[in-house]
Amino acid sequence: MSAADLSGRRIVVSAGPTFEDIDPVRFIGNRSSGKMGFAIAEAAARRGAQVVLVAGPVSLPTPPGLQQRVDVRSARQMREAVIAQLPADVYIGAAAVADYAPAEVAPGKIKKKDEQLTLALVRTPDILAEVAVHARRPTVVVGFAAETHDVEFYARGKLEKKKVDMIAANRVGVSGSGFESDDNALTVYWLDGERALGPAPKTALADQLLDLILARWPA
């Protein structure tokens, strides 16, 4: 790693969760804090890249040196914000995008009536998969995979199905990695290889992931 080894590269990073509203007071979301994606954005900017950070609802300060931070709430808004940033050299999808959203958002607070409530959910747009086949596809498309078990099986499945260049897989549901914690451990998979990174602080892993991307796609 050198101080400005990403100089001239345009990198779009997504981070944090998306919230899919059920009514004006409730939503479907997950436990992402945004720390992993923000660490990647900060490291890339420090190394000279022009970085656009598309962030879901998080309570993190904007890292120094970014070209732009775009705050969004839902998967649909995140998709629009990311696609609007293409073309780019690299897209890194660290956001934990909700896979399903309520089919309809109730205009008023849903009142408690019956013992059970059934919500109709619809799939959200798959931003990573769309970026990977877009006419303005970045040179390098990197996804994440958050898994509780069979990490390699599911990560390699996403690598193939979403047509991305690399998948950085992390274990969730255990302490010291994945959501919310300051530390993480990644196994990065590509078609004919893999590399284990960490366990380490997310700030250090961000630099190691960028090193790996640079090593495989030198300028």
Rg (CA), the chain: 17
Give me the least distance between CB of 25 and ligand PMT, in Å please: 24
Nearer to ligand PMT, 46 or 79 (CB): 79
Spatial separation of the C-alpha atoms in residues 184 and 199, rounded to whole Å: 5
Give me the sign of the Cα torsion angle 163, 75, 58, 152: negative
Buried b (16+ CB within 10 A) or exposed e, 186-213: bbbbbeeeebebbebebbbbbbbbbbbb
Give me the least distance between CB of 3 and ligand PMT, in Å please: 25
Decide: is 97 part of the binding site for ligand PMT (CB under 6 A).
yes
Contact region for ligand PMT (CB under 6 A) — 26-34, 46-54, 59-67, 192-200? 26-34
Spatial separation of the C-alpha atoms in residues 154 and 130, rounded to whole Å: 19
Given the residues 5, 23, 26, 30, select the one marked as catalytic: 30
Indicate the Cα dihedral angle 73, 77, 83, 86, nearest 10°: -40
Contact region for ligand PMT (CB under 6 A) — 43-51, 119-127, 132-140, 208-216? 119-127
Decide: is 41 part of the binding site for ligand PMT (CB under 6 A).
no
151 to 170, contacts with ligand PMT by CB under 6 A? 158, 170
Spatial separation of the C-alpha atoms in residues 171 and 217, rounded to whole Å: 26
From 51, 88, 146, 209, residue interacting with ligand PMT (rule: CB under 6 A): 146
| Per-residue mark of binding to ligand PMT, 73-92 (x: CB under 6 A) | --x-----------------
Decide: is 197 part of the binding site for ligand PMT (CB under 6 A).
no
Decide: is 178 part of the binding site for ligand PMT (CB under 6 A).
yes
Decide: is 22 part of the binding site for ligand PMT (CB under 6 A).
no
Q: Is 184 a catalytic residue?
A: no
Q: Which two tokens stand for residue 105?
A: 């958002």
List residues binding ligand PMT (CB under 6 A): 14, 16, 32-36, 75, 93-97, 99, 124, 126-128, 143-146, 158, 170, 172, 178-180
So which residues are the catalytic ones? Answer: 30
